[in-house]
Structure 1
Amino acid sequence: MTTNEFIVSLSCPDRPGIVHAVSGALLSAGCNITESQQFESPETHNFFMRIAVATAQDIDAVRNALGPVRDEFGMELGITAAGSRVTTLIMVSKEGHALNDLLFAQRAGTLPVEIPVIVSNHLDLKPMADFHGIEFIHIPVTAATKAQAEAQLLALVDEHNIELVVLARYMQILSDDLCRALSGRAINIHHSFLPSFKGAKPYHQAHARGVKLIGATAHYVTADLDEGPIIEQEVIRVDHARTAGQFVAMGRDVEGRTLTRAVAWHAERRVMLDGYRTVVFS
């Protein structure tokens, strides 16, 4: 007998009886719960749950069983096949470290995404895309062509049925309209410093100021530049003996790791939005 495995993710206003109702509906669909995590936000009073199940039934049977529960509790409900690959478009500019980490993890089978296309405003990383056999589309961006370039990007999103857009050191600011169009399905990576250093050569600025921690933040894209809901962060210690060049190299490593983890967690349906924050089930 074939066993199907699914991931059920849900969120709704918290109230008594949610877990009981969900468990009962899953039992009626012949589901065995193999993993379950839940969280009730004390600030928003929203309830979040991620459940892995195994069953002989198909996805439609599970969806139909949970339908009345979804309606009763006003849930946002998602059901996907466990291990299914998320169709992902990656955007890059000239730096390839984050792209390289994503492509390596995808090829190694540790990142459950399918990458049909890479988009860039420069041609520098086309050889990397060619090596991996992925279509590379060059969309130059200027102030005069920004609207046209973003329309071309959205056309690619529709053409390839893109579920996730990843900005892997894409050095262009997205318009508010594009941020809204990609809300909840676009992830960005940027360096994290205390204090903050913006503009050109941030790692060199950090080195000049004697920073002791460098790191990276992966977050969902919003119209508030680099201030979207945070998915993952990592920091590492540095000291006075490190050169500015070593800061750059170490920072690139952290950025790649952090972005890859964030994309993996999103693809595995471990991340849920709670207002301006995220709930991440590890």
Structure 2
Amino acid sequence: RTLIMVSKIGHCLNDLLFRAKSGQLPIDVPLIVSNHPDYQTLAGNYGIDFHHLPVTKDTKAAQEEAILKLVKDNDIELIVLARYMQVLSPKLCEAMSGKIINIHHSFLPSFKGAKPYHQAYDRGVKIIGATAHFVTADLDEGPIIEQRIARVDHGMSPKDLVEEGSNIESQVLAAAVKWTAEGRVFLNKTKTVVFN
């Protein structure tokens, strides 16, 4: 049973829901949690419960307690951060250690944190990528499950990089979720081993 968390950017959420519904992903998604209300209708269209849990610096601890309660009450085995743009607390990371997958929109370890496509553009990179990894208390440092890349060139704007990267993000996240759900991903300290 999988909980998907999302903020305002929905391409990964849409892709995961479609793949789950069409049988391409062996997951059951009973819940979607977001810090914004934007995807309530989409969740309803799939018959999935949607929980809008806004978060501020002052409400973060209570919001994460609500998430952990949902996890417990719904027998959630995996949390997928499908462009959920909030940093999880060490407490939540520890409580769900090895059970939270994040998609980061760069080829880690390059361009951690916010706006990696803009960072890549500023550096004039020749490839961009996306990385799916297990979440740890250290931002974008968790064990890597899957990565993919695409070539880019000097004629592309930051907006072009974002558009190109969106497709890669969806593919990488879907692969990581599939392999994890199939029991093919094993943690080995700071790395993963993915069996064919």
- Which of the five TM-score ranges fits, normalised by the shorter chain? over 0.9
* Residues 107, 147 of structure 2: 8 Å contact kept: no
Corresponding residue number in structure 2 for 1:264: 178
* Structure showing greater relative contact order (alpha-carbon pairs closer than 8 Å, 6 or more residues apart): 2
Shift of 1:263: 0.3
Corresponding residue number in structure 2 for 1:208: 122
Distance (Å, rounded) in 1 between the aligned partners of 2:185 and 2:55: 31
Distance (Å, rounded) in 2 between the aligned partners of 1:122 and 1:197: 25
Residue-by-residue CA offset, 1:158-204 (whole Å, 9 max, x unaligned): 11100100011111111111100000111011022588335553323
Alignment of 1:180-219 (within 5 A): 180-193=94-107, 196-198=110-112, 200-219=114-133
Q: 1:274 to 1:201 in 2, by over 3 A?
A: closer
One of 235, 243, 253 as aligned partner of 2:167: 253
TM-score (normalizing by structure 2)? 0.95
- Runs ≥4 residues deviating over 6 A: none
| Range with bigger deviation, 224-233 or 238-247 | 238-247
One of 120, 125, 143 as aligned partner of 2:34: 120
TM-score (normalizing by structure 1)? 0.67
One of 217, 237, 241 as aligned partner of 2:155: 241
Distance (Å, rounded) in 1 between the aligned partners of 2:138 and 2:70: 24
Q: 1:136 to 1:146 in 2, by over 3 A?
A: same
Corresponding residue number in structure 2 for 1:274: 188
More strand by share: 1
Instruction: Confirm whether residue 157 of structure 1 aligns to residue 157 of structure 2.
Output: no
* Residues 193, 206 of structure 1: 8 Å contact kept: no
Distance (Å, rounded) in 2 between the aligned partners of 1:194 and 1:120: 25
Alignment of 1:4-43 (within 5 A): none
For structure 2, the residue ranges without an aligned partner over 5 or more in a row are none
- Secondary structure of the 1:239 match is coil
- Secondary structure of the 2:142 match is coil
Residue-by-residue CA offset, 1:12-53 (whole Å, 9 max, x unaligned): xxxxxxxxxxxxxxxxxxxxxxxxxxxxxxxxxxxxxxxxxx
One of 220, 224, 230 as aligned partner of 2:138: 224
Equivalences, count? 196
Distance (Å, rounded) in 2 between the aligned partners of 1:258 and 1:236: 12
| Range with bigger deviation, 189-198 or 128-137 | 189-198
Distance (Å, rounded) in 1 between the aligned partners of 2:179 and 2:72: 23
Distance (Å, rounded) in 2 between the aligned partners of 1:147 and 1:205: 31
For structure 1, the residue ranges without an aligned partner over 5 or more in a row are 1-86
Could you say what the CA RMSD is over the residues aligned between the two structures, in angstroms?
1.5
